[in-house]
Amino acid sequence: MKKTSTRLADGRELIYYDLRDDSVRDATDRRPLDRTVTTSEIRRDPLLGDSVAIASHRQGRTYHPPADECPLCPSAGDRLSEIPDSSYDVVVFENRFPSLAGDSGRCEVVCFTSDHSASFGELTEEQAGLVLEAWTDRTSELSHLPSVEQVFCFENRGAEIGVTLQHPHGQIYAYPFTTPRTALMLRSAATHKEMTGGENLFDAVLERELAGERVVLEGEHWVAFVPYAAHWPYEVHLYPKRRVPDLLGLDEGARTEFPKVYLELLRRFDRIFGEGEAPTPYIAAWHQAPFGSLEEFDGVVREDFALHLELFTIRRTSGKLKFLAGSESGMNVFINDVPPERAAERLREVASS
């Protein structure tokens, strides 16, 4: 992998990740852009104890542009985009309309390929491996920023999810706090550790799932399963078998095997609902340990957390979506119409040949 960092016309950082060591990235951003002005503000809810990002400047962000005006495609002739070069393998750049900025963190965009019509599941194993390297490198770099406590790499795929740019891409949010979902996991891990005399909760969950009926696919270094209490109609958790707190902790064996396992999982997702159905909308979310202090979590340390990816779709059956209505949105109590055992069975049925 070759990494080349440059600046866009408005001062934002852009980084090329190339498969070839001899790649030259010297194209300049020719757009007449003013420096980005953001209004991001973090406000804490005194009742729930969580945080909300107030970012009014995002109202003006790019919204469903035609394919020939996609800002994530390479620049070509007089059509200038966020990527100055005429081609790329993987690109990461600071979001022009960030939810988090400055003392409130940082938001980045990750372009998985220059092919506008592709998807992550259509990448080669080599390309997917390069994306993993980019995620890992950005996790490392962002973790050293004084305003950052947790790094979250994720992909939203599909208009049903709310994606406004159809080019295959994901995002990285670097939060200035530990997110509520991670805090819940850490508190559960702390309680379990105390009640069992030191047993790791993530290890216990993984051991139970490996012995059960909800495993979807398994390799030497990774296992994917539908969790016992899945919130979403089709939800899969992907764990490395050796517990590590973040992407930086993955060993060579896990890094090498990841593209094969993950690409197979994404391709199965696109076959859940049968031939002729539109590509499955999904969210793919990496859960990593925070880099800040864990003192509030009663004896839990970073190494107790288990890196894992959660992949889920909001489509519950052909042509129908799972909406977060009163119970889910009002009380955060999910109601799942698809039994996790049946979801796992279906994902095994659609294994590729």
Per-residue three-class SS string for 52-87: EEECHHHHHCCCCCCHHHCCCCECECCECCCECCCC
The Cα 335–Cα 332 span in angstroms is: 10
The Cα 265–Cα 81 span in angstroms is: 32
The Cα 13–Cα 106 span in angstroms is: 11
Q: Which of 144, 167, 169, 237 is catalytic?
A: 169
End-to-end CA distance of the chain: 31
- Reading the block at residue 50, the tokens are 């969580």
The Cα 263–Cα 130 span in angstroms is: 13
Q: Is residue 169 among the annotated active site residues? A: yes
The Cα 9–Cα 295 span in angstroms is: 42
Distance of CA 18 to the CA centre of its chain: 20
Say whether 202 sits in a helix, a strand or coil.
helix
DSSP structural state of residue 76: B
**Active centre residues (catalytic):** 169
